Amino acid sequence: MGGQACVFYGAAEFSRDTDLAILASSENLARLKKSLKDLKAELIAVPPFDIKYLRRGHAVHFRCNHAEALGMRVDVMTKMRGVASFPKLWTRRTTIEVDGSTIDLMGLPDLIQAKKTQRDKDWPMVRRLVEVSYFSNREIPTKDQIRFWFRELRTPQLLIELAAQNPIPVPLVRQRPLLKALKNEDESLLAKLLIEEEQKEREADRDYWKPLKKELETLRHARVSQTQP
């Protein structure tokens, strides 16, 4: 669901990490623990690898020590801000074949939602992911693709181009108010509204993580206390 998924979707991002969205069940975590053991992966930060932390929205971090994955970091999550529950993510996944192996990627709309964070590096990736979809499919788009582009395109010129060729679905205007500005074809206004939209998402992400970060600090202090003589 992270940088590796972005590479497969054609919006290349160099990443040494593998980010996984998983179903947080006892049986599934037992299977994951076995795989991590095969990778000689060690827990590198708080929180502990415990189902209760995953269900609250934390990420659990590992570093692999197997010779064929030396230094690879694996981050595991099961709940993300604004992202659907795992069962829904699973039904909307994209499955690809790479060198004879099957890989399940988080569906593109869900991946983009997961990327709407407070981090500077994520927003250029959101833009690239949507543009790759647009340029690859705009000649013969499906209705779902058109709706997706109206919801997620972050380039004023492309939004104006899309609106010139397709009517804006009324329900989407309520979801994304800046679409009202498309009738004026004002790129400067759209650019301003896109920045405001991004800032609201960044602030929402900060608010979401505040209690989780507070809990992480408590866990760090507790771990330091346990290691001190």
The band of 225, judged by pLDDT with boundaries at 50, 70 and 90, is confident
Name the one residue in this structure whose structure tokens are 């209705």. 143
Q: What's the whole-model pTM score?
A: 0.91
Among residues 47, 51, 44, which one has the least CA distance to residue 22?
Answer: 51
Are residues 130 and 152 in contact, defined by beta-carbon separation less than 8 angstroms? yes
d(CA 205, CA 87): 23
Contact 179, 149 (CB under 8 A): no
pLDDT digits (tens, 9 = 90+) for 87-107: 999 999 999 998 999 999 999
The mean per-residue pLDDT over the stretch 169-184 comes to 94
Query: Do 126 and 116 touch, CB atoms closer than 8 A?
Result: yes
Report the share of the chain in percent with pLDDT over 70. 97
